[in-house]
């Protein structure tokens, strides 16, 4: 039986990070870790403070969607104070940190679907939500929200069953949330320090995207684009080659594979 209890001490002790996850605020149940993280950031919480919940009753996804967040999964938010130039890279950092931690703990092969969905065997296993607040030209705070389906049984949730999977569903056994969370926090810090030191994570993120070279449809606001995903920019935007030969730059959206 896998030990699946989370607590601030079990997450923090001997974690080996300098600041990410050195303060963990844990809730058995919470509306959304994003809301609590925002409150903490406004009160000046230290960089790297983590808000984690066993379940969320109002989990939020990208593009105003609901994020199904039952017990047994990971729902956490990390508070950061990045420079404005590093803000667009948080998308890349978070998805790479998730990919590295899932692969290290489970050995499963993962893929990133632009911009930051992490998939296993073409189904979504993790969603990432980045929110930030600016004060003039400066970043007031940024919050990385990460939801990983660890021990979720997709068949229990018909609304996501066809598109989602979980680590346990893929492996056919329970997975330790604690191991994934700890590794994730170590990876977030490593990549964040790389970024702060001027190191590049863009190339690794670009090369990990399963979307590039594929025929896709992207919904961005009310507009739907179709074409071939040609590349991504350093700020995370997608460069889509349309059938009329023009190149569209899409900053945010939802991609569906069409080939
Ligand atoms: C998405 O793919 O739409 C993003 C999902 C992000 C979910 C995480 S779970 C932790 C944090 N709290 C939330 O309410 N949302 C994010």
| 143 token code pair | 């919050």
Nearest CA to 234 out of 83, 63, 62, 92 is that of 92
What per-residue confidence (pLDDT) applies to 219? Answer: 94
Chain CA centroid to CA 259, Å: 25
**Which own/partner contact pairs does 160-169 have at CB distance under 8 Å and 24+ positions apart?**
160/68, 160/124, 163/123, 163/124, 164/68, 164/123, 164/124, 164/125, 165/120, 165/121, 165/123, 165/124, 165/125, 166/73, 166/125, 167/102, 167/106, 167/108, 167/120, 167/125
pLDDT at 202 over 80: yes
**What is the number of the ligand 1 atom nearest to the C-alpha of 126?**
2
Alpha-helix runs per DSSP H in the chain? 8-12, 33-42, 89-106, 167-171, 177-196, 202-208
**CB 178 less than 6 A from any atom of ligand 1:** no
Mutating to test ligand 1, I would choose from 6, 26, 27, 34 the residue with most ligand atoms within 8 A of its C-beta, which is: 34
> Alpha-carbon distance 119 to 172, whole Å?
17
The percent of residues above 90 in pLDDT, for the chain, comes to: 94
Name 10's Cβ contacts closer than 8 Å, sequence gap at least 6: 178
Provide the b/e sequence for 217-252 (b: ≥16 CB within 10 Å).
Answer: ebebeeeebebbbeebeeebbbbbeeeeeeebebee
- What is the mean predicted confidence (pLDDT) over 159-181? 95
What per-residue confidence (pLDDT) applies to 55? Answer: 96
- What is the mean predicted confidence (pLDDT) over 206-231? 95
**CB 184 less than 6 A from any atom of ligand 1:** no
Mutating to test ligand 1, I would choose from 30, 39, 55, 75 the residue with most ligand atoms within 8 A of its C-beta, which is: 75
What per-residue confidence (pLDDT) applies to 104? Answer: 98
Give 3's pLDDT tier (boundaries 50, 70, 90).
low
What per-residue confidence (pLDDT) applies to 259? Answer: 80
Mutating to test ligand 1, I would choose from 36, 131, 146 the residue with most ligand atoms within 8 A of its C-beta, which is: 146
**What is the number of the ligand 1 atom nearest to the C-alpha of 34?**
12
Distance 246 CA to ligand 1 centre (A): 33
Dump pLDDT digits (tens) for 227-255.
Answer: 999 999 999 999 999 999 999 999 999 99
**CB 34 less than 6 A from any atom of ligand 1:** yes
> Alpha-carbon distance 226 to 207, whole Å?
21
pLDDT at 4 over 80: no
pLDDT at 1 over 70: no
Distance 243 CA to ligand 1 centre (A): 34
The percent of residues above 70 in pLDDT, for the chain, comes to: 98
Residue with tokens 């002790």: 13
pLDDT at 187 over 80: yes
**CB 30 less than 6 A from any atom of ligand 1:** no
**CB 118 less than 6 A from any atom of ligand 1:** no
């Amino acid at each position: 039986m896998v030990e699946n209890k989370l607590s601030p001490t079990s997450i923090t002790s001997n974690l080996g990070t300098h600041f990410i996850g050195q303060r963990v605020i844990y809730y058995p149940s919470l509306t959304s870790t994003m809301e609590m993280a925002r409150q903490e950031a406004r009160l000046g919480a230290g960089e790297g403070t983590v808000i984690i919940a066993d379940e969320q009753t109002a989990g939020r996804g990208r593009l105003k969607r609901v994020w199904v967040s039952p017990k047994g999964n990971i729902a956490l938010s990390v508070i950061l104070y990045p420079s404005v130039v590093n803000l667009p890279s948080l998308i890349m950092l978070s998805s790479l940190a998730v990919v590295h931690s899932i692969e290290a703990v489970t050995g499963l092969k993962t893929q990133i679907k632009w911009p930051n969905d992490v998939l296993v065997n073409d189904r979504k296993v993790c969603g990432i939500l980045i929110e930030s607040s600016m004060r003039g030209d400066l970043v007031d705070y940024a919050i990385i929200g990460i939801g990983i389906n660890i021990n979720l049984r997709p068949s229990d949730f018909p609304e996501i069953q066809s598109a989602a999977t979980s680590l346990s569903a893929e492996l056919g056994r329970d997975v330790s949330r604690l191991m994934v969370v700890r590794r994730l926090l170590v990876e977030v810090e490593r990549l964040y320090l790389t970024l702060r030191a001027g190191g590049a994570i863009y190339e690794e993120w670009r090369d990990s995207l399963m979307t590039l070279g594929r025929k896709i449809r992207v919904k961005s606001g009310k507009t739907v684009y179709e074409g071939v995903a040609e590349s991504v920019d350093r700020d995370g935007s997608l460069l889509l080659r349309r059938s009329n030969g023009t190149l569209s730059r899409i900053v945010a959206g939802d991609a569906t594979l069409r080939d």
